[in-house]
Amino acid sequence: MQRRFSLEWFELFISKTLLSANLNHAVITANFVRDSIQKAAEEKDRIRLELLQEMFTASNEEGMRVSVQRYQLLLIHLLDELHNQEIKDTGNQLFRKLCYYLRECLKELLALIENHFTRYFDLEQKVPESYLSICRKEISQEIDELENRFYSHKQDAKLVQILINHIRAFIANSRVQLTYRDFMYLKDSWGELLHSRIYGKQGRSFPLLVELLIRINYNSPMFANYFIQDYMGALLSKAGTVDEKMGIIHRLKSRVKEVNRLPNLRMLPGYPDIEDQIAEMLQEELSFLQSTGSNPVGAETAPSDYKVQTTLPVPLLAATIRVFKDSGVILNTNIKKLLEFISANYSSMKQENISYTHLHSSYYEIDQRNKDRLYDMLMQLAKECRKL
């Protein structure tokens, strides 16, 4: 048989033979399954040799990259087609056995190019649906135990729920697609959450879960805001003087840097590392305390450039911009440039210079407290409007 491409047998078998068999289980006999498994194994070995030969005879780097990514794309497509057939199955054990062996053959080929041609493997390509399905099942079986473990270590319930709710959302939403880069983060970070060596660590500088999330670079703005508003806020509330508060912030900055982060991990590629987000927000607080400690009450500091001075904290300013944007009052479509302009030309209640990172994270993560504060402010503005 003359093949148009190396994976043609798998393509035809999954899209035609297997589809027909799934509609008529009478044809799925033990002999059919045995013969199909034997043929799949032969095809897998043949493709493996062809694949390696093609890779090593590529004339240049670009040719190698194109070959690897072509195989990667085709194998992912076939695994997804096979997964779609499996989820339509009504419970035929022979059919499931056949699907399992077909999937293992395709996974072995995909793992071959992923592990031996890593340099050319496209990490931005979507991961096969079957990988995610298995991952969701495994995580769903372990998440309750992990949640109880955090509570047994007396971790803050608010932070526990930020993490657990995020994970449960992934389990529940089967439509979410992940890239290989995202999937690698998920596997590595989940393994760390379950089995980290810091569970047995003595003399911890941070609460267990705070250190874990910094360690896996859980760079969600929700965690950054929790660290500043809840964790740091609770520490500062116990300090009596400005100097004591500044000392706490300096110690926090040092301790964040000392956390031994796992290499090459970042949950959200579009956001700075969690260490950088926290450091920038700590510096904001430090600058505010320094200004209040050095200036008499009521004194104004002349800005170096003209800015719109507001009495709003950054989260409330961000929420105000969000309402204006979502309601159509602000027409700018480039949110990044809009927030950069606001951070450069507005001041907040605490800071003459607003952090873009803080403003950006607050724009997308508006908690109930700031929603209530925004509502109260808008009601007050409505009253002022009547006086005009």
For the stretch 291-303, pLDDT in tens is 655 444 344 444 4
Residue with tokens 């305390």: 289
87 touches 103 (CB < 8 A): no
Tokens of 67: 């070959």
Q: Look at residue 144 and tell me whether its pLDDT is greater than 80.
A: yes
Report d(CA 342, CA 172) in Å as an integer. Answer: 37
Mean pLDDT of 302-329: 82
pLDDT > 90: what percent of the chain? 46
Question: What confidence score (pLDDT) does residue 298 get?
Answer: 40
What 3 state SS string does 41-70 have?
Answer: HHHHHHHHHHHHHHHHCCCCHHHHHHHHHH
DSSP three-state, residue 273: coil
> In sequence order, what are the residues at sequence separation of 6 or more whose Cβ sits closer than 8 angstroms to the Cβ of residue 193?
146, 212, 216
Q: Domain limits of the chain?
A: 8-122, 133-293, 306-386
Residue 378 has pLDDT above 70, yes or no: yes
Orientation angle between helical segments 93-116 and 30-56, nearest 10 degrees: 10
CA distance 182 to 165: 18
Check residue 251 and give its pLDDT. 94
3-class DSSP state for residue 267? Answer: coil
So what's the pLDDT on residue 349? 67
How many beta carbons lie within 10 A of that of residue 279, not counting itself?
Answer: 17
Looking at residue 305, what is its pLDDT?
64
Write the pLDDT tens digit of every residue in 1-60.
445 568 889 999 999 988 888 777 778 899 999 999 999 999 999 999 988 887 777 778
| Summary mean pLDDT of the chain | 87
174-190 mean pLDDT = 90
